[in-house]
Copies of this chain bind each other. A is one copy, B any other.
Amino acid sequence: MSSGRRALVVGTGLIGGSVGLALRAQGWHVTGRDLDEARAARAVELGALDAVGDDGDADITFVATPVGSVASEARRALEGRGVVTDVGGVKSPIVNAVADPRFVGGHPMAGSEQEGVDGADASLFEGATWVLTPTDDTDPSAYAEIRNVVSSLGADVVALRPEDHDELVALVSHVPHLTAAALMSTAAAGAEEHAAVLRLAAGGFRDMTRVAAGHPGIWLDICAENRGAIVAGIDGLQSALSEMRALVDGGDRDGLLAWLERARAARVNLPTTAPRPEELAEIRVPVPDRPGVIAEVTTLVSELGVNMFDLETVHSAEGGGVFVFLVDAAAADLVRGALLARHYKPSAQRLA
């Protein structure tokens, strides 16, 4: 099918290439560019781009460059008429630097912007979580448009404030990555004394240190841009380790068991891919025409742990509008209650 929709991809690595492939499969016309011209040419060869170059007429631009150059590329893309998003692993510095109602920061929790375009895959984002970070200044229509395109790639969108995103990914990605490197280094130091140590490294250790085998380049930007949250995250981990050390050293079996049981329960309950609900309810929320509404509603729903599907914004003649989205029918009352508590007037209706 052809839709006449146009997209621009800046940075045609694994993520940019995968976005291009997925959009083209839906009939989008995709233009792209990369500092490395050979890489952009390769993206055309692989079918991820229709053409190499710029596109001021693009409806949407995905900036998929390393974190350090996202803000300047986003500002350049905003000279065009469309909406702009990115895929960087840190959000506050980028979102603050760009500060434009048509820009919404994004972060797909799949792949990495520094891996090669040859690994690009139209289905990379299917079932993956993709964070979007609207702010008080975000234009609701721009947010809805970006959200719908991202959803169309098969991703489950979670809306978070940029600073919350950064704090949370420090906990579940940045600090764990640095910890993998620390574990690996500690074991390697032991291997200087005993060559045998690394032969004892079985499945669990291999799983835990696998991410340390990745190219470190990307982490320098991330550590620089997300310094505060990472340092706080390391401090949190160090306290947890100190607690555990005291339990082991003191021979406190009950305390240790309780600690490990809590961790086990949390790990077992780790959500897998967000399931599509069996039944959906449509939530309609009349919203005033004021800044920040979109960020408030979407992050509120995300914080409840509820998935939103198929968001759209219906503008009314009187200036305000209506947000319309779908949630799991079982969660409809929860969402409605939370919105009522914030003085919205939502309606919820189960779909047949």
CB distance from A299 to the nearest CB of B (A): 9
**Knowing A199-B158, A253-B224 touch, does A266 contact B187 (C-beta < 8 A)?**
yes
> With an 8 A cutoff between CB atoms, is A314 at the interface?
no
> With an 8 A cutoff between CB atoms, is A219 at the interface?
yes
Give the contacting residue for A177; candidates B204, B230, B274; CB below 8 A.
B204
CB distance from A227 to the nearest CB of B (A): 6
For A248, the chain B residues whose CB sits under 8 A away are 178, 223, 227, 230-231, 234
Give the contacting residue for A131; candidates B165, B169, B200, B244; CB below 8 A.
B200
Number of interface residues of A (CB under 8 A): 99
CB distance from A263 to the nearest CB of B (A): 4
Give the contacting residue for A211; candidates B207, B241, B302, B305; CB below 8 A.
B207
For the complex formed by this chain, how many copies does it contain in all? Answer: 2
For A247, the chain B residues whose CB sits under 8 A away are 223
Give the contacting residue for A213; candidates B128, B210, B214, B268; CB below 8 A.
B268
> With an 8 A cutoff between CB atoms, is A25 at the interface?
no
B168 touches A186 (CB 8 A): no
> With an 8 A cutoff between CB atoms, is A339 at the interface?
no
For A215, the chain B residues whose CB sits under 8 A away are 264
> With an 8 A cutoff between CB atoms, is A262 at the interface?
yes
For A302, the chain B residues whose CB sits under 8 A away are 195-196
Closest residue of B by beta carbon distance from A164:
B194
> With an 8 A cutoff between CB atoms, is A76 at the interface?
no
> A207–B219 Cα gap in the complex (Å)?
19
A220 touches B263 (CB 8 A): no
> A10–B116 Cα gap in the complex (Å)?
52
> A271–B195 Cα gap in the complex (Å)?
11
**Knowing A190-B168, A241-B179, A244-B178 touch, does A219 contact B173 (C-beta < 8 A)?**
no
Highest count of chain B CB atoms <10 Å: which of A158, A204, A219: A204
CB neighbors of B among A192-243 (8 A): 194-217, 219-220, 223-224, 227, 230-231, 233-238, 240-242
CB distance from A234 to the nearest CB of B (A): 5
A259 touches B185 (CB 8 A): yes
> A223–B110 Cα gap in the complex (Å)?
36
> With an 8 A cutoff between CB atoms, is A167 at the interface?
yes
For A182, the chain B residues whose CB sits under 8 A away are 237, 240-241, 244, 263
CB distance from A129 to the nearest CB of B (A): 5
> With an 8 A cutoff between CB atoms, is A261 at the interface?
yes
CB distance from A240 to the nearest CB of B (A): 4
Give the contacting residue for A270; candidates B160, B206, B235; CB below 8 A.
B206
For A178, the chain B residues whose CB sits under 8 A away are 241, 244, 248
Give the contacting residue for A194; candidates B168, B261, B270; CB below 8 A.
B168
Q: Mark A263-299, 1 if CB is under 8 A from B, else 0.
A: 1101111110010000000000000000000000000
Give the contacting residue for A251; candidates B109, B194, B227; CB below 8 A.
B227
CB neighbors of B among A157-176 (8 A): 158, 160, 164-165, 167-169, 171-173, 175-176
**Knowing A240-B186, A267-B209, A303-B196 touch, does A109 contact B262 (C-beta < 8 A)?**
no
Closest residue of B by beta carbon distance from A156:
B199
Task: Enumerate the 5 nearest inter-chain pairs by beta-carbon distance, A residue then B residue, closest first.
Answer: A216-B260, A195-B305, A181-B263, A188-B266, A182-B240
